[in-house]
Amino acid sequence: MLECGATKSQVDHCVRWLKKNQICATVKATRGFVVTVLNYELYQSIDTYKSDSRGDSKATQKRQDSKEGNNEIHSRTSDEVRLSELLLNLILERKSNFREGQPERRDKTIQRWAIHIYRLIRLDKRTPERVEKVIQWTQADDFWRDNILSTKKLRQQIDQLELKMDKSEPNLPVREIKRGPDGKTARERIKSQIEAEDAERKRQYEQ
């Protein structure tokens, strides 16, 4: 027990579990007890180990996905969604037909983009305020605004972007907010459309 680092109570617990599940049997001996593995030949099959290995791999991947935010459904009020929407809306103000921002794709885009914002905050240790500042800077910069068209790209370039931003920040130009013939920005039009769709779904549900 000392060699493997397990306590006596831990070993007793494991043995009881193995006996309960008919994996082993024990017989008392002069010093301690003898353990017999039941269905020993079953555990000598290579297929058994392959199956266990696949199960372990899936469990490991599931834990990794959870850690990195892959399996999360991010709330509309979360920083991940808010910052993803910020980048998408700033892109739409320049290019209203941006494919990832169209109504039929928008929700999936936001959830997919939120994964990379999640990683920036949780794994790369950037604050939401810092990420927001970088997003605003990239979309005001003549070069980077055409190269940072997703949060994945934002995360990949974050170190370089921060260096460039910190160096050029005193000369940051004031970004002109563009409005369409209806007097609304792309962000305001998208928001109005989403609110209208939500209202229509609610109306249909109540009928």
Q: Tokens at residue 170, please?
A: 């005193």
Please list, residue by residue across 46-59, b when 16 or more beta carbons sit within 10 angstroms of its beta carbon and e when fewer do: eeeeeeeeeeeeee
Read off the pLDDT band of 100 (50, 70, 90): very high
- pLDDT tens digits, one per residue of 109-129: 999 999 999 999 999 999 999
Greater pLDDT, 21 or 136: 136
Res 108: pLDDT: 94
Res 58: pLDDT: 57
85, 122, 138, 113: CA torsion to nearest 10:
-40
Greater pLDDT, 34 or 160: 160
- pLDDT tens digits, one per residue of 43-94: 665 555 555 555 555 556 555 555 555 555 788 889 999 999 999 999 999 9
Res 98: pLDDT: 96
Look at residue 1 and tell me whether its pLDDT is greater than 50: no
Res 115: pLDDT: 94
- Residue written as tokens 């190269």? 147
Mean of pLDDT over the chain? 81
Res 32: pLDDT: 75
